[in-house]
Structure 1
Amino acid sequence: MLTKRLPAKLFWPKFDKTWPLKRGEEPRKKIAFAATNFSVERFQKAYQGKNSFSYFDIPTSCLNQQMNQKRQAEYIAGRLCAHQLLFDFAVNHAHLENDDKKMPVWPKGIIGSVAHCYPYAVVMIAKSKDYQSIGVSIVSRTESRTEFSLSSNAAYGVLTQAEILRFATHLDEITLALICSIKKSFIKATSPLILSYLYFDDVNVVAIDWIQGNAELVIERDLGGQWRKGQSFMAQFDFYHSKVISMLALPRQLGFELMFP
């Protein structure tokens, strides 16, 4: 188990721990944030020719042989952000392994979420006594102009018909990227709890408050147990280095309108 920081002689990236969702209030029960730049060039220079996983002493079992250099840098940057936050929480831990869905297995008492959008990796963690789950997502606004072009089929894979009608008067690439990010954060927060995969059309964004930086979502179908059609959630969002970042946290009590009790 890791009980101290990695050796100082290693290339240790700089972490941005400033709370990124500045439009709204910070949660009263702590959610920690860290981000770092995983530029392939910077990481390659730091490795000094060594394999990136062995350089940081990350088990090769975490290495997917199909990972290119960019994906390796992305993976490692996310794990380093997570380790930094776990150190800040004084949580003894080993390198985060993946479960069968390739999601990180967090230490006991911790919940968290990792997201990437080149060249940034972002992580949020919290204590499981405060939150059931958390989802963070970051989406590039510039990439959305091509990846989620309003004229493309991808746009209609993100939006429900109700959303197309609801946001028709101001449905630009930024709004589309925001809706995509919000839905991703919802899916990442809820998937571990319902033990099934969700899709973009399983949730409907019904309101966006650009001033306060929050959005309301509604489930479009029964997901089993306490997860019922029509149940609403609140997500927060803001812009991070010209990218859209969003977060949805589920408290221990299921009063979702009180996201930060």
Structure 2
Amino acid sequence: MLASNLFWPRFDKTWPLKRSQEPSKKIAFAATNFSLEHFHKAYQGKDTFSYFDFPLNHLWQKMTQTRQAEYLAGRLCAHQLLFDFAVHHEYLESDDKNVPIWPKGIIGSIAHCYPYALVMIAKSKDYQSIGVSIVARAESRAEFALSSNTAFGVLTQAERLRFATHLDELTLALIYSVKKSVIKALSPLILSYLYFDDMSVIAIDWLQGSAELSLERDLGGQWVRGQSFSVQFDFYHSKVISMLALPRQLGFELMFP
């Protein structure tokens, strides 16, 4: 029997990137802490998916309950936004790499960071792709310690020199987050996986909440080495959130004037 405190989550739809102007063409946002703060207390695996009439595919059946909870919370956010866009969709399936398969006419991105799951979606007539990432600043001290191999996996040699005098855990977490949003936005377009050293952060504007990046190699088509573009970032409940939305025009263009 399911726990009596299991219920449909509440969603935060407030635009999270306060430092920059909202896009002129709509990008919808939703986040919930339902995944772990409340949901995980009531979570009962496959039965919880059934409660929300959502299938637990074979790939996610092998995951831990925490990962399953994050997965479901992200999908519930996505379905709330699809409902807001008047898109009828029974449930959001995933491909063999667990990447969401969005309904026709919709592009989107899902991210998790304890205790939040969040989603951004838009219409494909307006944007080619969206990548959103969220990283915990507190976790960065352990995961991205400056002496660890992870730091050197995130930073290019040029970045290590560029930020050498002020590279703290927050800056490193930000670089990780903005690069992750680029990876999530570009990977579906180039049909291959990107890595952290495929791009370099050139500059960070902490006041405006933007980071300028440049590609370190040709990716094919319009994505060429030296191509620069801007990723928006801010702090969401003390965590670093970043987003790259690629408009329909050719090439990278700044989404915000």
Alpha-carbon distance between aligned partners in 2 of 1:28 and 1:65, rounded to the nearest angstrom = 40
1:18 to 14, 20, 30: 14
Normalised to the residue count of structure 2, the TM-score between the two structures is 0.94
> Would you say the 8 A contact 2:35–2:117 is kept in 1?
no
Q: Displacement, 1:10?
A: 6.3
Alpha-carbon distance between aligned partners in 1 of 2:89 and 2:46, rounded to the nearest angstrom = 25
SS at match of 1:237: strand
Letter in 2 for 1:21: L
Aligned residue pairs total 253
Answer with 126-135 or 68-77: which moved more. Answer: 68-77
Q: Displacement, 1:260?
A: 4.4
Q: Displacement, 1:173?
A: 0.3
Alpha-carbon distance between aligned partners in 1 of 2:58 and 2:248, rounded to the nearest angstrom = 31
Task: Look up the match of 1:4.
Answer: none
Task: Look up the match of 1:251.
Answer: 247
Task: Look up the match of 1:151.
Answer: 147
Task: Look up the match of 1:85.
Answer: 81
SS at match of 1:204: strand
> Would you say the 8 A contact 1:62–1:98 is kept in 2?
no
Alpha-carbon distance between aligned partners in 2 of 1:26 and 1:62, rounded to the nearest angstrom = 38
> Would you say the 8 A contact 1:16–1:36 is kept in 2?
yes
Letter in 2 for 1:28: S
Superposed CA offset, 1:67-125 (max 9, x none)? 11111110011000000000001111120000122100001000000000011001000
Residues 1:29 and 1:152: Cα distance change in structure 2 (over 3 Å):
same
Normalised to the residue count of structure 1, the TM-score between the two structures is 0.92
Residues 1:161 and 1:34: Cα distance change in structure 2 (over 3 Å):
same
Task: Give runs of aligned pairs for residues 168-247 of structure 1, distance below 5 A.
Answer: 168-247=164-243
Alpha-carbon distance between aligned partners in 1 of 2:36 and 2:108, rounded to the nearest angstrom = 25
Superposed CA offset, 1:176-204 (max 9, x none)? 00000000000000000000000000010
Residues 1:77 and 1:62: Cα distance change in structure 2 (over 3 Å):
farther
Is 1:42 the equivalent of 2:38?
yes
Letter in 1 for 2:92: L
1:70 to 61, 66, 73: 66
> Would you say the 8 A contact 2:10–2:34 is kept in 1?
no
Q: Displacement, 1:43?
A: 1.6
Unaligned runs of 5+ in 1: 1-8
Alpha-carbon distance between aligned partners in 2 of 1:151 and 1:178, rounded to the nearest angstrom = 17
Q: Displacement, 1:258?
A: 3.0
Letter in 1 for 2:15: W
Identity %: 80
Is 1:141 the equivalent of 2:137?
yes
Alpha-carbon distance between aligned partners in 2 of 1:217 and 1:23, rounded to the nearest angstrom = 18
